[in-house]
Amino acid sequence: MWCSRARLETCSGIPNGPAMMRPQQCQRVRGSFCGGRRYAHQRAEDVMTFLLSERISNIINDFNSSHANMRREEKRTIVETPYGCEGFIGSEMKKQRESRCTQKTISLLSPLGTIQVSGCENGVHTIQILMDVAPAERSSEAPLSCVVNDSLAETSPELRCCVEWLQAYFSEPQTTGSLPLPAFHHPALQGDAFTSRVLQILLRDVKYGETVSYKRLAEMAGNPRAARAVGGAMRKNPVPLLVPCHRVISSSGQSGPYMSGKGNHLKQWLLTHERQ
């Protein structure tokens, strides 16, 4: 038998929660124990569980909806890229940029082995040292040279400029300081991101025959504690030799890694080449 003395209250544990019956006093009525208190407690637990589950469900739904909207906007949004054409954010931007940029690759036989230079009308994209042979031995009787394997016909002026610079670097390296550099057309060398800033400073301030430590280059870039990040920027360098990441060495004087450690012998060869 229900307690006849019950009053309507709002549960204080739930903001603006529903009113529920809470017995003011439990009494035995006609020999039966009043179940009001037990019922009220069970009812409060049920309401609390319901509200919490609803709240969690709403949070999850809001998050999923927001994430889906961000993905849709990422695919739809069109922006102006550093390449003079429109592209799509994220992977779509990369695909669009590559589809609108007609590249050509020139192969050179250098003292380091085959070097492939890729570029378009706007500038040089990448320089790859294939490491297909061991570096050439130096001899005063046989000067070093760099031979173009492909025809330069229908080659962009920027790509031709890069090839001429590389040829001079191996045959007459002292003259490279007076030669014009080609334009670059790679995202790592565009904008004001840390990697771009470090590479541009390295290109501008560390001259032929000079070296700089990772720590010092970080200081030159405005962040003295970013020596490790400078190493990451060197690994992302798309145009080695032109942007001389081989001139960045450790503070102890050791040459340090080159091409993720696979080209350490090439780095030592280049440093020796520039000291002679």
Q: What is the pLDDT of residues 132-180, one digit of tens each?
A: 988 988 766 667 889 999 888 889 999 999 999 999 999 999 899 999 9
Whether residue 26 lies in the annotated active site: no
What does the pLDDT read at residue 64? 73
Give per-residue pLDDT as tens, 36-84: 666 666 777 777 787 777 778 778 877 777 666 656 554 444 333 333 3
- Answer whether residue 207 shows pLDDT above 70: yes
Tell me which of 34, 146, 161, 245 is the catalytic residue. 245
CB 98: neighbour CB atoms within 10 A?
13
- Answer whether residue 210 shows pLDDT above 80: yes
Whole-angstrom Cα distance, residue 260 to residue 235?
7
Q: Which of 19-28, 67-76, 96-105, 256-265 has the lowest mean pLDDT?
A: 19-28
- Answer whether residue 23 shows pLDDT above 60: no
What integer is the mean pLDDT of 195-212?
Answer: 96
Question: According to CATH, what is the number of the domain 186-276?
Answer: 1.10.10.10
Average pLDDT, the chain: 80
Q: What's the predicted TM-score (pTM) here? A: 0.64
Is residue 16 very low, low, confident or very high in pLDDT (cuts 50, 70, 90)?
low
What integer is the mean pLDDT of 233-237?
Answer: 96
In three state form, how does the secondary structure of the chain look? CCCCCEEEEECCCCCCCCEEEEECCCCCECCECCCHHHHHHHHHHHHHHHHHHHHHHHHHHHHHHHHHHHHHHHHHCEEECCCCCEEECCHHHHHHHHHHCCCEEEEEEECCEEEEEEEECCEEEEEEECCCCCCCCCCCCCCCCCEECCCCCCCCHHHHHHHHHHHHHHHCHHHHHHCCCCCECCHHHCCCCHHHHHHHHHHHHCCCCCCEEHHHHHHHCCCCCCHHHHHHHHHCCCCECCECHHHEECCCCCCCCCCCCCCHHHHHHHHHHHHC
Instruction: Provide the token pair at 272.
Output: 């020796």
Whole-angstrom Cα distance, residue 41 to residue 13?
12
pLDDT: which is higher, 62 or 10: 62
Sequence ranges of the domains in the chain: 6-65, 104-180, 186-276
What does the pLDDT read at residue 101? 83
Fold classification of 104-180 (topology level)? Double Stranded RNA Binding Domain (3.30.160)
